[in-house]
């Protein structure tokens, strides 16, 4: 590997990876892997499902929290 590329890779390791970055990467991974298997999959479907799962998780956590306080 050339020196310039190695330097860039080392610098990339120090760039902060935000929650938004992680979520975008997760959705991209889900889209890419499902699109291979099913050409009808759209970005909207992936986004809608991710949102549904997120709100389901929030609801579950809130229910658990309220049960522990009773």
34 secondary structure, DSSP code = H
Nearest 5°: the CA angle 3, 17, 41 is: 105
pLDDT in tens, 5-40: 999 999 999 999 999 999 999 999 999 999 999 999
pLDDT of residue 57: 83
17 secondary structure, DSSP code = -
pLDDT in tens, 32-64: 999 999 999 999 999 999 999 998 888 888 888
Which sequence spans correspond to the domains of the chain?
A: 17-68
pLDDT of residue 27: 96
pLDDT of residue 69: 67
Provide the whole-model pTM. Answer: 0.67
């Amino acid at each position: 590997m050339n020196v310039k590329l190695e330097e860039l890779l080392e610098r990339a390791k120090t760039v902060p990876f935000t929650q938004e970055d992680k979520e975008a990467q997760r959705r991209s991974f889900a889209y890419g892997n499902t699109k291979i298997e099913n050409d009808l999959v759209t970005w909207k479907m992936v986004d809608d499902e991710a949102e549904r799962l997120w709100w389901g998780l929030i609801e579950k956590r809130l229910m658990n929290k309220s049960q522990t306080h009773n």
